[in-house]
Structure 1
Amino acid sequence: MGSNKTALTVYVTDGNALAMTASDNLKRRKPVDPSQPDTLVVGIGYSLTDSIYAWTQRSIDFGAPIPGDPTPIGVDDFLDFIGDSLRPWVQQIIFPEVNFTRDALYGHSSGGLFATYALINRPQMFDTFIAASPSLVLRNGTIMANVTRLLGDGMGIPGEVDFEFDGQNTTKPAVFLAYGSLEEFPQRRRTQNETQFWARRAILQRSRLGSLTHELYDRLVGSGKMRDVVIKEYPGQDHAGVGGSALMDGIAYFLDW
């Protein structure tokens, strides 16, 4: 990006696993859609190990504790890092001559829980929130009740979050939600026997990824506080597949605004 450019930004959690997917998607779009605005992908990842997921650290940062693990929750610290350190570093140090306008936050699974937390606690922080297969059942499902407590229900509950937009993002947020049809209702794999299939099905159904994502959609729409909310089901896709598909469609949704 040269000087005097205007650009958008997509902040991608689990950057080790997903940032290149986002970058490649934008590169593929540009030749067939020259009107696409310049967009920067900021992958938020961790030190390289033999896994693309830093399980313990992401559970701290995303506010998604591993059951039975006394790991502390550092979700607010992580949001502070993005807003107070990472974003200024990108905009003022790396690309000081670029005018950054809108930005989006993407998260999948526990990252989707984090994106939801950010949305209801700091809705002014990003223009668009993209939550793919958010693990809303974690933390005993308390985040769902907090959606209504913080944002209101559009009727008798006004909501506790202040919607004063005085920073980079100046409008109510837009939200893209997604899940796969096989996440809650899996099909039996060819390599599974009946016992293995039903054990796997029981685990997935406890996560309630599809039904809770729909409930989140209903609560966000009912709050009347969002600029736009969409939900997309991916037929025939499981948890891993949704991570990439929703990232590409979520970016398209963000760019279209």
Structure 2
Amino acid sequence: MSGAAPSEGPPGSEPVTLARSASWTMRAGEDPARIHRILLSWPEAPPPPGGYPVLLLADGSATFATAAEIARLRTGRGAKDVGAGLIVGLGHGGEGPYDRAARARDYTPSFPAAPAGAGGADGFLDFVIGGVLPELERRFPIDRARLGLFGHSYGGLLALYAFFSRPGLFRRVASASPSLWFAEGAVLEMARRFAAAPPPAAAGSALLLTVGGLEEADDGTPRGPVRVARRMVGRARDLAAILRGASVAVDFTEFPGENHGSVLPAALSRAVPFALSPVLPEAGAPA
């Protein structure tokens, strides 16, 4: 007997699908290898006068279904802190939840200390702005003044980079367990410059920063010392402290008992209402 799980269900079964959801593929630029799978979930409620707010998700193949179900449950129960909006997964073209090489390229900025093969964040953001958003607008009215971006790990780094380098583009940015150690902590220097002279375009924006309490614990495995050295929790706290008092709302949440992988559902549970809330937080106050 093989130990592998079957790729198809038992005879007579059907694949599980999500209601009011669809997906398609798009190519980024001229490189035929840069194929992205876009996943979209839309609500039952009609769009508000300005169009639907949008929450875009890095690592969409891994994060989309969870986020879409969170949005459905919150709005279906009449939650006042979540309005009707679009959930959009930005996936890569493979079958699995993650394409490690592609995300290491697409989600990392071209900092001087970035390793070879990294540094494609600007190209990826250009693809989202110039390709994905117009495609969404062909299907639904969207409110470009209420765009949100969620990312975890390298995706969290991408979210922060977008927040600092393109202020005001994404009004709600949720960065979960960001890879602040990348390129010798260069994004923290971006944060310091941002906090010292907040760009006017960032006014009214909000940042949600989350991390698992166990993310820098040495668990006795070979990766334990790496976790300690990267200071995922400590650096996240440092970032929150840097941004306090800037012209943006900052909310920092640490989830006790969660590690780098297990924290993802908890982070999404916070990010969805944060991004789709009809109430804008006050500048300089916790989101």
Contact 2:106 2:118 in 1 (8 A): no
Alpha-carbon separation, structure 2, partners of 1:27 and 1:2: 9
Contact 1:64 1:110 in 2 (8 A): no
- Compared with structure 1, are the counterparts of its residues 60 and 245 closer, same or farther at alpha carbon in structure 2 (3 Å cutoff)? same
Which gives a bigger RCO, structure 1 or 2 (Cα 8 Å, sep 6+)?
Answer: 1
- Compared with structure 1, are the counterparts of its residues 246 and 68 closer, same or farther at alpha carbon in structure 2 (3 Å cutoff)? closer
Alpha-carbon separation, structure 2, partners of 1:202 and 1:245: 25
For residues 1-257 of structure 1, the aligned pairs below 5 Å read: 5-6=47-48, 7-33=52-78, 35=80, 36-49=82-95, 51-63=96-108, 70-91=116-137, 93-96=138-141, 102-149=146-193, 151-153=194-196, 158=197, 162-164=199-201, 171-186=203-218, 188=219, 197=220, 199-222=222-245, 224-226=246-248, 228-256=249-277, 257=279
SS state of the match for residue 188, structure 2?
helix
Partner in structure 2 of residue 192 of structure 1: none
Alpha-carbon separation, structure 2, partners of 1:108 and 1:39: 21
- 1:247 Cα deviation from its structure 2 partner: 1.0
- Compared with structure 1, are the counterparts of its residues 42 and 68 closer, same or farther at alpha carbon in structure 2 (3 Å cutoff)? closer
Contact 1:4 1:99 in 2 (8 A): no
Alpha-carbon separation, structure 2, partners of 1:139 and 1:148: 16
Contact 1:5 1:99 in 2 (8 A): no
- Output one character per residue of 1:48-83: Cα deviation in whole Å (capped at 9) or x when no partner: 23x311111111111169x99621411111111111
SS state of the match for residue 45, structure 1?
strand
Alpha-carbon separation, structure 1, partners of 2:98 and 2:223: 22
- Structure 2: give runs of 5+ residues left out of the alignment: 1-42, 280-287
SS state of the match for residue 102, structure 1?
strand
- 1:41 Cα deviation from its structure 2 partner: 0.5
Moved over 6 A (4+): none
- 1:251 Cα deviation from its structure 2 partner: 1.4
- 1:121 Cα deviation from its structure 2 partner: 0.6
What is the total number of aligned residue pairs between the two structures? 230
Alpha-carbon separation, structure 2, partners of 1:142 and 1:254: 26
- 1:31 Cα deviation from its structure 2 partner: 2.3
Alpha-carbon separation, structure 2, partners of 1:68 and 1:175: 24
RMSD: 2.4
> Counting helix residues as a fraction of each chain, which structure ranks higher?
1
SS state of the match for residue 210, structure 2?
strand
SS state of the match for residue 57, structure 2?
strand
Contact 1:61 1:77 in 2 (8 A): yes
Alpha-carbon separation, structure 2, partners of 1:18 and 1:80: 21
Alpha-carbon separation, structure 1, partners of 2:163 and 2:144: 20
| TM superposition score normalised by structure 2 | 0.73
Alpha-carbon separation, structure 2, partners of 1:95 and 1:84: 16
- Structure 1: give runs of 5+ residues left out of the alignment: 166-170, 189-196
Partner in structure 2 of residue 191 of structure 1: none
Percentage of matched positions with identical amino acids: 27
SS state of the match for residue 94, structure 2?
coil
